[in-house]
Amino acid sequence: MRKSRIMTGIGISAVALLALTGCNSGTPGATDPTDGGDTGQSEALWEVSTDVSLEGSPTFDAITARDGVVVGVKNDQPGLGYEDAATGERTGFDVDIARWIAASLGYDEEQIEYVTIPSANREQELVNGNIDYYVGTYSITDTRKELIDFAGPYFLTGQGLMVAADNTDINGPDDLEGKIVCSVTGSTPLQRIRDEYNPGDTVEYDTYSQCVEQLKAGSVDAITTDEAILAGYVAQEPDALKIAGEPFSEERYGVGVAKGDTALVEHINTLFTDGGDVWTALFDEHLAPAGIEGSQPEVDDTAM
């Protein structure tokens, strides 16, 4: 199992959503935004804010001192947080949410360092101050809120199951008796399948792509995690993989931030609330093509 962190500082442009015309400043109400520089990143959707100040945010103070943003993301979840191994390009809904937040703080693509962090290490990386915020299929839970705060939610999905395309005997979490189910260390779906259902056995890896390899090799019978994640894998290999049954939990994705940085949480929540068409444009670009349905949830201050 891979335990290492992968640190990759890149300055590669995101998909440019040029078909979209509306512009939203990174910071709502910001004046005199730049033209986004020449990074080509989603310029049609937002502009990089200027003259940002965020009083009382230790995270923003650190960002200002270093003159750059360090964000934690995933790199193996197509449509959400993905890194092209050949080009180093980062794409996905979560990655663009991270970029949008960075722009609202006054930082463009060139000034973002991405750190790939697996599910099990997220809280600790935030507690240690190694990243400024985390955007990566990160469910808001009370247990995690003991260690960190969340902005959001910015997306809702639910736990589901993925099986081989020719599997006919698993149609929901009650069909797992005697079956081997793969999930990820430190994730809510692994915990729930163990606590509330009765699989024959569970195996855990650091990443979902490792589970996908096991499923394709036939060494596990099913993978469990959020449907939004599973749909991304199915979209890549529809002949090999399929989703089985209906979602059986509600997962509310939040942006992880250091505990007590209320100013940053409120800034991000305001961005989400006042973001106009940005959310829908990102959803249509990254998630709708995989057949995922949804609409922007209202932010919830109790997520903090």
Among the residues of the chain, which ranges form H helices?
58-66, 93-104, 122-127, 142-145, 188-196, 208-217, 227-236, 262-273, 278-286
Asked if residue 11 lies in contact with residue 110, where contact means CB atoms within 8 angstroms, the answer is: yes
In single-letter form, the type of residue at position 211 comes to C
Binding-site member from 139, 167, 210, 269 for ligand GLU (CB under 6 A): 139
Binding-site member from 49, 91, 116, 187 for ligand GLU (CB under 6 A): 187
Cβ–Cβ contacts within 10 Å for residue 68, how many?
16
> Does position 109 bind ligand GLU by CB under 6 A?
no
> Does position 137 bind ligand GLU by CB under 6 A?
yes
Which pair of structure tokens corresponds to residue 232?
């991304």
> Segment near ligand GLU (CB under 6 A), from 7-15, 160-168, 183-191, 272-280?
183-191
Nearer to ligand GLU, 116 or 188 (CB): 188
Best CA proximity match to 120, nearest among 53, 153, 65, 74: 74
Binding mask 206-245 for ligand GLU (x = CB under 6 A): -------------------xx-------------------
Minimum separation from the CB atom of position 70 to ligand GLU (A): 19
How many angstroms separate the CA atoms of 30 and 281, rounded?
A: 21
Binding-site member from 45, 131, 135, 184 for ligand GLU (CB under 6 A): 184
Nearer to ligand GLU, 49 or 139 (CB): 139
Best CA proximity match to 243, nearest among 162, 159, 181: 162
Binding mask 247-286 for ligand GLU (x = CB under 6 A): ----x-----------------------------------
Minimum separation from the CB atom of position 197 to ligand GLU (A): 16
Interaction residues for ligand GLU, span 58-77 (CB under 6 A): none
How many angstroms separate the CA atoms of 80 and 91, rounded?
A: 7
Nearer to ligand GLU, 27 or 187 (CB): 187
> Segment near ligand GLU (CB under 6 A), from 65-73, 133-141, 211-219, 232-240?
133-141
Helix-, strand-, coil-residue percentages of the chain, each rounded to 5: 30, 25, 45
Question: What is the dihedral sign for C-alpha 123, 126, 131, 134?
Answer: positive
Nearer to ligand GLU, 73 or 271 (CB): 73
Longest dimension (CA), the chain: 62
Which pair of structure tokens corresponds to residue 181?
């189910």
> Does position 188 bind ligand GLU by CB under 6 A?
yes
Nearer to ligand GLU, 27 or 183 (CB): 183
Nearer to ligand GLU, 42 or 139 (CB): 139
Contacts with ligand GLU by CB under 6 A lie at: 119, 136-139, 184, 187-189, 225-226, 251
